[in-house]
Structure 1
Amino acid sequence: MAIFAYLRVSTEEQTTDNQLKEIKEKFHITPDYVFAEHISGSVAAKRRPVFLEMIGKMRAGDILTVTKLDRVGRDMIDVVTTIRELTDLGVTLKCLQLGDIDPKTSVGRLTLGILSMVADFERDLIVERTKSGIARAKAQGKKLGRPKALTDKMVLKIRNDAAKRMNISQIARENGLSRRSVKRALEQAIKE
């Protein structure tokens, strides 16, 4: 029997350190059984490369530990399906947020189903609030999205450098830019 830890965060800027710390407080886990990935929670469990790699190494009698139920799937259907598949493999799920819930029992399945629905509802509320915030910002005239990579002054300098017969690599190096940024500025000049 091995104890696996699955850690997930949505972005590269986030870290799984706290999840690992929480799990290590409850279970002795060796580094070979810790699987962490940076992938959006909106991606189904079956489409997460690290999750699939971990499942491929699990055997009957193993335990999968997660800090929260939303680490296991993206919505109610995904969570329930993943738990069923783990149960069919003979793998027990330990979710620190919930305590010991045995998905092999009818009460355990009911509890997981209700909690999955609550998590799904919470995610829907977050999406609604985000959309509402974006609409409000647009109505207030705020600019959304990424700021321009190059200022108008920088674009003018790139065009002047190109007019002096400097090549793209020289312009990029001299201005501390990528070749792609220089090309984009020059392509935009041609369109205008």
Structure 2
Amino acid sequence: MALIAYARVSTDGQTLDAQISQLKAAGADKIFKEKVSGARADRPQLRKALATLMSDDVLVVIRLDRLARSTRDLLNILDEVASKGAHFRSLSDTWADTTTPHGRLMLTVLGGLAEFERELIRARTGEGRERAKANGVQMGRKPKLTPHQRKEALRRRDAGEALTAIARTYDVSHSTISRLQA
């Protein structure tokens, strides 16, 4: 079992020293360090730390905000850790420790709450979409052709004119013309 640590600060003006000393004091075998915003999805050192994890290893951070930028991000990272048979521990957030039954329970509850929140958002989005449709709002991309252009293009197509010639007139692809329906 190895303690794999991850330390991160957001800007070049900040220092990793305090995090590194806390992680070393906790017994970290290897520390992955980076100076990058937590809002960035591409954090190369975090990727390397996760790739290093083996079964029964523990990924350690000093605080949850050093690891994840949102609950969803945290749960995705913890899922990746668990899929390797590894564990996770936050030194400052003692409840976030998957090496203990209580920690696993807390993170399971957190995952359930995040899933519940996603379902609420999905329901509200669906309701909003239905209200908008009822109020006459057209969903999707704006049509490339106006109703007048559509009628004219259909008339020209029915007269046997080449699709590419019609399309060139309206600056659209020939497949847009071929998909037109009366």
| TM-score normalized by the length of structure 2 | 0.54
How much has 1:59 moved relative to structure 2? Answer: 3.2
d(CA) in 2 for partners of 1:81, 1:112: 11
Aligned to 2:167, which of 172, 178, 187? 172
Aligned to 1:22, which of 34, 38, 54? 38
Tell me if structure 1 keeps the 8 A contact 2:87–2:98: no
Alignment of 1:120-135 (within 5 A): 120-135=115-130
How much has 1:109 moved relative to structure 2? Answer: 0.8
| CA RMSD of superposed structures (Å) | 4.1
Gaps of 5+ in 1: 6-19, 35-53
Name 1:68's counterpart in structure 2: 70
Gaps of 5+ in 2: 9-35, 61-66
- Percent identity reads 22
Secondary structure of 1:142's counterpart equals coil
Tell me if structure 2 keeps the 8 A contact 1:72–1:82: no
Larger Rg: 2
Choose between structure 1 and 2: higher helix proportion.
Answer: 1
Partner amino acid, structure 2, of 1:158: A
The aligned length equals 139
Name 2:47's counterpart in structure 1: 33
Name 2:132's counterpart in structure 1: 137
Tell me if structure 2 keeps the 8 A contact 1:93–1:102: yes
Aligned to 2:147, which of 148, 152, 168? 152
Partner amino acid, structure 2, of 1:121: F
Pair 148,164 (structure 1): closer, same or farther in 2 beyond 3 Å: same
d(CA) in 2 for partners of 1:23, 1:138: 34
Deviations 1:42-79 (A, max 9, x none): xxxxxxxxxxxx97x443258494322313668xxxx9
Aligned to 1:59, which of 53, 62, 71? 53
Pair 68,100 (structure 1): closer, same or farther in 2 beyond 3 Å: farther
Matched, 1:109 2:104: yes
How much has 1:153 moved relative to structure 2? Answer: 0.9
